Amino acid sequence: MRTLDSDTDETLQGKILLIGNHLVRQQQAYAMLKQLGQVCLTANAQAAVDQAQHQQPDVILMDMPFPLNDENKTVIAIRQCNGRLKHTPIIALTAEEMSDTDRSRLRINGISDFLSQPFTRTQLQIVLERWLAVSRHDAAEEENTSTQAVIDLTQLNALRKINPNSGDSILKKLIAIYLKSSPGFLAQIEDAIMTPDRVVLKRAAHTLKSSTANVGATRLAELCKKMETIAETQQIADASAILHDIQQEFHLVTCALEALLQETEHP
């Protein structure tokens, strides 16, 4: 694994949209981003949705001051856009005093990751590299019809055979329930690791594993099982090692299920 330092000249490949109202924090982040790769700048949360739709960034950075105001509404509005923005990684630049409750609410509303301010260029680069990799993976998967690579369709097709007359209806209902409920279980896993809370971690990992297996997301279910085992063995310190794998696979699974849901609604 390579190490990063403040003098590295390596640049990132991808379009990054920075959203923020605080001029000082905005300019500091903007200066770092210009050294690391491409960046588009929008000054306020009100213009953010239009800018995001126009620029179609690979990653969005959003300054989330404390207490939360219009920024949370902006995240929800971006996630409600059609097409790619429904799944574009959004990284919240947060104040240190933001509570776990606020973070959980932001995750449920569509935030992908957090970076506490103040942060260094190295810390920013590490987070961006992780999520730009997800975006590149998504683009490659879109070209090769990613749904079957992420979802085992055998599991879902079995639901159709239960009742040929209502199979698609059952499938749509199952996917819709999963897409609505699963972000909350992932947020519980993330919070339990931060706390740390072994009991909550085991319960949340088990629940997400079961529901994920039901929609045919085999690899994500296996990762959740590993997390459940970690909680059982009381080695929470090891949990962060696979949390990023779970986050990235979860992103791919939700993208695939969204696409499958649209195919079911518009065959």
pLDDT band for position 5 (cuts 50, 70, 90): very low
Cis peptide before 65 (omega within 30 of 0): no
15-140: CATH class: alpha beta
pLDDT digits (tens, 9 = 90+) for 198-223: 899 999 999 999 999 988 899 999 99
Q: Would you call the peptide bond into 67 cis, given omega within 30 degrees of 0 as the criterion? A: yes
Q: Tell me the two tokens of residue 49.
A: 């949705």
CATH number for the region 145-265 comes to: 1.20.120.160
* pLDDT, position 4: 34
Residue 193 has pLDDT above 60, yes or no: yes
Confidence band for 12, pLDDT divided at 50, 70 and 90: confident
Same fold, 15-140 and 145-265: no
173 is written with which tokens? 């209902």
Per DSSP, the three-state class of 92 is strand
Query: Model pTM?
Result: 0.56
Over residues 66-107, the pLDDT tens digits come to 555 666 788 888 888 877 788 888 998 887 667 777 777 788
Model confidence pLDDT, tens digit, residues 104-163: 778 877 888 888 888 888 888 888 888 886 555 555 444 444 455 688 877 777 766 666
* 8 Å CB contact between 138 and 252: yes
Per-domain boundaries in the chain: 15-140, 145-265
Pairing of strands 59-64, 15-19: parallel
3-state secondary structure of 115: strand
